Amino acid sequence: MTKLKYILLLLSILGICYLYADIPLVLTPDGIQKTLPVVKLEEKDYVSLDEINARLCSIYKVEYSEYTDFRVMFFFYGEQFIFLLNSPFYTFKQSVFNMQYPLLQVGANYYVPTTFIMDNLPLHFPGQIQNKKGTLYLPQPKDKSVKRIVIDPGHGGKDPGAVGPNGTRESMINLNVALRLKHLLEQELGLEVLMTRTDDRFVSLGDRTKFANDNKADLFISIHTNASRTNGAQGIETYYLSTKSTTESRAVEALENSVVELYEGAGAKQKYEALDFILMDMLQTEHLEHSNDLATLVQHNLVAGVQAKNRGVKQANFYVLRGAFMPAILIEMGFISNPEEEALLANPQYQDRLAQAIFESIKRFKYNYDRIRLTS
């Protein structure tokens, strides 16, 4: 046999072994079949946590402190596992278990031995997860994680929003940052991002919220720039909904809500005011706490990311946030009425930094929120 033939034969045998080593999954009760790829690490069979996440809606987070070394918090079927890097021991429901081989890291990926999947998981979920002759039967996981985000670039078309002293239109800044944010969320997190507008067109405030509800968005992010009669006003503030506004937030609320009177015609204001009863809806109030969390993260990251003045997280009664049945925030990225901030806001590099900071906040929020939703 020539050397080449020998190598080809060896490769095909390896290929077959590799194929057979993958773990077949059956999701009950529908019998959906999936395969969990197995890799050889230190001559043992391993599965990457990312591959498990992709198939079984789990998530994990790596934590490090000088006291605990690297810990991997793994959330799976509503329960938490705590792994230690390079250790076969892990914690589950306050007890320590052994999965025979250590948790390993290769590059940015973390791997558990297949013994954890095939032997330990069925013990932790008796009656739910079963290993029947090398095929793992698991309940169809409920994916309650953040998957779809609606980004709402404020204003557009006949409504330019606030206009800066040098003629910069708010509607264009909002759109530019929104498009950058969309790109980051899609590329880096693989999320589905829908936009209330992708060009310079008019969309009513009610249609923006309706769009988010109709598409069952998990988050609603409305992007704006601020304006004030005092042209020294500067900085960033992030809002979520309230029916009770503070005096300070009322000015911004009036600014953003005035679109209705200016561009949506007679009777539109009454229509939005009548939406008040929806605010009482439990569906919406349960999202206020998460809206606050998201607003807090966004505010913190934006201020740190672009070194702007911190005007804080605020609540106001924005029409565009009313009736949104998901965590919803409105970001005022700076004052277009302030010539210095106007110049910054119009700068493409600055817009990139704004988008990056909002992206980092959503990423962080998604982890926390997914964990809560997957473990409750």
Q: Among all chains, which residue has been given the structure tokens 């194929």?
A: 19
Task: Find the shortest distance in angstroms from Cβ 183 to Zn ion.
Answer: 22
Of 314, 301, 297, give the one whose Cα is nearest residue 240.
Answer: 314
- Shortest approach of Zn ion to residue 170 CB, angstroms? 5
Q: How many CB atoms lie within 10 A of CB 326?
A: 21
Residue 169 or 353 with smaller CB distance to Zn ion: 169
Q: Determine the Cα–Cα distance for residues 304 and 139; give it in Å rounded to an integer.
A: 43
- Which residue lies nearer to Zn ion by CB, 261 or 281? 261
C-alpha to C-alpha distance for 137 and 327, rounded to whole angstroms: 34
> Which residue's Cβ lies closest to Zn ion?
224
Spatial neighbors of 210 by CB under 8 A, at least 6 apart, are 323
| Shortest distance in whole angstroms from residue 110 CB to Zn ion | 43
- Given a contact cutoff of 8 angstroms between Cβ atoms, the answer to whether 294 and 329 are in contact is yes
- Please state the closest distance from residue 196 (CB atom) to Zn ion, in A: 13
Q: Which residue ranges make up the site for Zn ion (CB under 5 A)?
A: 154, 161, 224, 256
Smallest separation (angstroms) from Zn ion to the CB of 152: 10
How many Å is the maximal CA-CA distance in the chain?
A: 88
Rounded CA-CA distance 58/133 in Å is: 24
Considering beta carbons, is residue 154 or 235 the nearer one to Zn ion?
154
Beta strands (DSSP E) in the chain are 23-28, 32-36, 39-41, 44-48, 59-65, 69-76, 79-84, 89-92, 95-98, 104-106, 109-113, 130-132, 135-139, 148-153, 192-195, 219-226, 236-241, 310-316, 328-335
- Cβ–Cβ under 8 Å, residues 362 and 196: no
Min dist. Cβ of residue 163 to Zn ion (A): 11
Residue closer to Zn ion, measured from CB, 110 or 319? 319
CB 180 to Zn ion: min, Å? 18
- Cα separation, 288 vs 105, in Å, equals 38
Is the Cβ of residue 256 or residue 341 nearer to Zn ion in the bound state?
Answer: 256
Nearer to Zn ion, 152 or 256 (CB): 256
Distance CA 104, CA 109 (A): 8
Category of 340 on φ-ψ map: left (φ > 0), alpha (ψ -120 to 50) or beta: alpha
Q: Which residues pair with 331 in a beta bridge?
A: 223, 238
Rg (CA), the chain: 25
Torsion sign across C-alpha atoms 340, 343, 347, 351: positive
CB of 161 to Zn ion, least distance (A): 5
Name which of 182 and 224 has its Cβ closer to Zn ion. 224
Comparison of 77 and 211: residue with beta carbon closer to Zn ion: 211
Residue 224 or residue 287: which is nearer to Zn ion going by CB?
A: 224
Least CB distance to Zn ion at residue 252 (A): 9
